[in-house]
Structure 1
Amino acid sequence: MLPYLFPSRFSQWLGPLIAAAIGALLIAVIVVVTGIVDLSAAKPHPEGWARFLHYTFDRSTAFHAGPKPPADLDSPIRIAAGAAYYGQVCARCHGGPGFGQNPVVLSMHPRPQYLATDLPIANFSSPELFRIVKAGVKYSAMPSWPADRRDDEIWQLVAFLRALPKMSPETFRQLAVVSQDQAVSPVPFGQKPAQRAYALRNDDEPPRVSYNYRTPVFGFSGYALSANPAATCARCHGADGAGGGAFPNLTLQSPDYLARTLTAYAAGRRRSGFMQMVATELSPAQIDALAHHYAALPRRSSEAGATAPALGQQIALQGVPSAGLAPCASCHGVTLAASKAYPLLEGEAHWYLANQMRVFRSGGRGSIVGDKIEDPMVAIARKLDDRQIEAVAGYYAAQPPAKVQSFAAVEPKR
């Protein structure tokens, strides 16, 4: 009997194996075609299957873990920057200290985890959290980061996630929730705007006909339709528009530059997981109104009393001849900034300027033409080391705001 069930020659196994394979394929076809499997979200996965899926997710995350975290990962400025995004997007599913989770998202399977406790975050290292935020999770509602090459933004969110379990409800509300005293005058949506296509990392993924990559979009909070976008802007940039160090100081730029920059974010020509989400909701009328609103606010330096390093002044005004770099002022000076649509840097926050130059150096910023980045700042930043970047950022942070000049019909470079 045993020799019959377990033949010694391999050729004697071929027939039964082929028959078993055909039988399994036939069963699979029947299951798919009949629709007998219940894929509704009303029923949870069987316990064993759910454990298997989560174990597979854990192992995949560990295998594909992200790069080494930045040295200042736990700095307050990174945590505050990540809080702004979390409160706008992530808290809708994952809740926060002092807040539960929405019953709609808890009707999903798998359900989003409540992140304001030690267990979910403690299970993953910082590189693993980076991987989850950047790549998302298939077969769940966890999306990938919408802007590729913006690892700096992802690390800001990771910094906040690491701090979240020990955060008090008061601190969470202060960092991540828009308070009523930040509300400003309404910004009407305006007449029905023509829809315009925008670029996203997966906009050519089939079936293209099933999706609509066009602005304005219907957003998470509906702030644009409720004529309250400035309060949402205040979440990151503050009610005074000065940015708080982690985000750009909007009062330093002309309305033309601000409007063109918002338009570039909405179109996907300028990358940002933070800003594209916001800008795609705005109507052209709101973009124009917001640009004039922030340009009209009192202009102030982000870091009053800062000291300009001598090396930074040399780079800004004389360049780095040994590296073939012209002075920063040749593009970012007041006159040329007006004619070439480069941003004004005087009075901007040191941390923000240094971080953005490192983002240029890594290829995360720059004007996008097709699949290529075409921006002189990418090549320039790659010729500067960290010491030089910190110095020139310090120099511009110490300068009083430059005089704003208006210009027209020029797209922003970045």
Structure 2
Amino acid sequence: MIRLKYVVFGAIGLPVVLLLGAWIGFFNVGASSGHWKVTAWFLQLAMRSAVRTYALAVDAPKTLDRRGLPAAAGHFARGCAICHGAPGELRSPAVLRMLPQPPDLALTVGDWTDAQLFRIVRHGIRFTGMPAWPARDRDDEVWAMVAFLRELPKLDPNEFRALAFNGSGATTSSDQQPATPDVLSDCMRCHGGDGDGRGGAVPALAGQKEAYLLASLQAYAKGDRTSGFMALPVTGVDPADLAALARYFAAQPPVSADHDQVSAEVINKGQQIAEAGIPERNVPACSGCHLGSDKNPVYPRLNGQHAAYLERQLKLFRSEDRGGTPFWHIMATAAQRLTDDDIQAVSAYFSRRAEVPR
């Protein structure tokens, strides 16, 4: 029988021994060798158990929305493939020497549920180099990444490159483009060279007001408007290049958005909100700020914009998760008085409304 005093001595002595070992440098933190097998097993067990437990609180959708795939693929190609690889793209030898080594996601995503992938993408994993999602209030972007990860094992190199890089070439003169070609290329991953926006969840920029585009880019760069997809492209970009990007996309001819099947009743409801608002709920008419050439140039044009994008932005305004220009609070107040059906209707209406010539 173990005496109580030995238990007490052990409880006190073990932490002292561990602290002493750490102080004298006994524990090797060099990356030239890995953990002991038992340590690696324990850390892997702890990680998987933690992901599984915390994912229980995640409300995963029954069907993943695929409209954000182009943006997610573009983000993966720029920010994730360097460690995890991609179809047809080998990882660098330096990454292969990392401890722990980042997994080939095309081979491992099947080990996780959608909720677990969401947890990993949103919060990252400590001590592995896997960062949290740059925008903590953009769950829609995280779910887009989960949808892309589900597609990743099915993609061959050509399909991956088409999804991640398929932007048409620049179509305007060089004096309208940024001085740094890579800056425009990063935008074209998601918005296309014509500025039409790919996938429906990415906004159409073609023909948008230049002042609004510049204000939005500056808000992303300052962190006043959050987006994990936009965080990488705007980081460290010269202010002159931001202005050039705004000029470039504003100069592109507007392109008609793709339309989902929506009933005439929904469209008519959206038109009513756009033109007259909802007086009984103090919702102002959208036309008061967004229609007409005499409006504030920082207020965006909505005509022909993708309905899915408009829906997402209105819901972000409603939850006060979207900032941006100094006028964002006006939209937040209006959106908080809209139901999901109202938002769907007005978004569908503007996506079908013909662009008024400038």
TM-score between both structures, scaled by the size of structure 1: 0.78
Following superposition, the deviation at residue 67 of structure 1 comes to 2.7
What residue number does 1:39 align with? 29
Q: Matches of 1:180 and 1:314 in 2, distance apart?
A: 37
Q: Matches of 2:91 and 2:219 in 1, distance apart?
A: 34
Is the partner of 1:282 in helix, strand or coil?
A: coil
CA RMSD of aligned residues (A): 2.6
Equivalent residue in structure 2 for 1:353, among 310, 315, 338: 310
How many residue pairs get aligned? The number is 350
Following superposition, the deviation at residue 71 of structure 1 comes to 4.9
Residue deviations 1:128-163, cap 9 Å, x none?
111101101011110001112111111111110011
1:376 matched to 2:330? The reply is yes
1:149 matched to 2:137? The reply is yes
1:54 matched to 2:44? The reply is yes
Following superposition, the deviation at residue 297 of structure 1 comes to 1.6
Q: Matches of 2:15 and 2:241 in 1, distance apart?
A: 56
Following superposition, the deviation at residue 380 of structure 1 comes to 2.6
Percent sequence identity is 36
1:258 matched to 2:213? The reply is yes
What residue number does 1:331 align with? 289
Equivalent residue in structure 1 for 2:88, among 91, 98, 101: 98
Contact residue 210 and residue 246 of structure 2 kept, 8 A: yes
Deviates more, 1:327-336 or 1:100-109: 327-336
Is the partner of 1:334 in helix, strand or coil?
A: coil
1:199-348 matches, within 5 Å, as 227-244=181-198, 245-303=200-258, 309-335=267-293, 337-338=295-296, 341-348=298-305
Contact residue 367 and residue 375 of structure 1 kept, 8 A: no
Following superposition, the deviation at residue 363 of structure 1 comes to 3.3
Q: Matches of 1:136 and 1:149 in 2, distance apart?
A: 15
Q: Matches of 2:170 and 2:46 in 1, distance apart?
A: 44
Residue deviations 1:325-366, cap 9 Å, x none?
111112222346425x22110111112112222232333313
1:398 matched to 2:352? The reply is yes
Is the partner of 2:296 in helix, strand or coil?
A: helix
User: CA 1:321–1:101 in structure 2 vs 1: closer, same or farther (change >3 Å)?
Assistant: same
Structure 1: give runs of 5+ residues left out of the alignment.
8-12, 189-223, 405-414
Following superposition, the deviation at residue 228 of structure 1 comes to 2.2
Q: Matches of 2:148 and 2:106 in 1, distance apart?
A: 11
Following superposition, the deviation at residue 187 of structure 1 comes to 2.6
Deviates more, 1:126-135 or 1:322-331: 322-331
Following superposition, the deviation at residue 387 of structure 1 comes to 2.0
User: CA 1:337–1:95 in structure 2 vs 1: closer, same or farther (change >3 Å)?
Assistant: farther
What residue number does 1:121 align with? 109
User: CA 1:72–1:21 in structure 2 vs 1: closer, same or farther (change >3 Å)?
Assistant: closer
What residue number does 1:362 align with? 319
Q: Matches of 1:138 and 1:129 in 2, distance apart?
A: 15
Contact residue 305 and residue 398 of structure 1 kept, 8 A: no
AA aligned to 1:61 is: V
1:173 matched to 2:166? The reply is no
Following superposition, the deviation at residue 33 of structure 1 comes to 1.5
AA aligned to 1:261 is: S
1:86 matched to 2:76? The reply is yes
Q: Matches of 1:165 and 1:349 in 2, distance apart?
A: 29
AA aligned to 1:328 is: C
User: CA 1:315–1:72 in structure 2 vs 1: closer, same or farther (change >3 Å)?
Assistant: farther
User: CA 1:71–1:25 in structure 2 vs 1: closer, same or farther (change >3 Å)?
Assistant: closer
Equivalent residue in structure 2 for 1:67, among 58, 68, 71: 58
Q: Matches of 1:310 and 1:273 in 2, distance apart?
A: 35
Deviates more, 1:387-396 or 1:245-254: 245-254
User: CA 1:342–1:256 in structure 2 vs 1: closer, same or farther (change >3 Å)?
Assistant: same
Structure 2: give runs of 5+ residues left out of the alignment.
none
Q: Matches of 1:105 and 1:401 in 2, distance apart?
A: 48
Q: Matches of 2:146 and 2:117 in 1, distance apart?
A: 6
Contact residue 363 and residue 378 of structure 1 kept, 8 A: yes
Q: Matches of 2:328 and 2:355 in 1, distance apart?
A: 28
Following superposition, the deviation at residue 183 of structure 1 comes to 9.6
AA aligned to 2:304 is: G
Q: Matches of 1:123 and 1:246 in 2, distance apart?
A: 28
Contact residue 361 and residue 381 of structure 1 kept, 8 A: yes
Higher helix share: 2
Residue deviations 1:228-279, cap 9 Å, x none?
2111110000010111222111123222211111111000000111112211
User: CA 1:59–1:305 in structure 2 vs 1: closer, same or farther (change >3 Å)?
Assistant: closer
What residue number does 1:197 align with? none
Following superposition, the deviation at residue 127 of structure 1 comes to 1.1
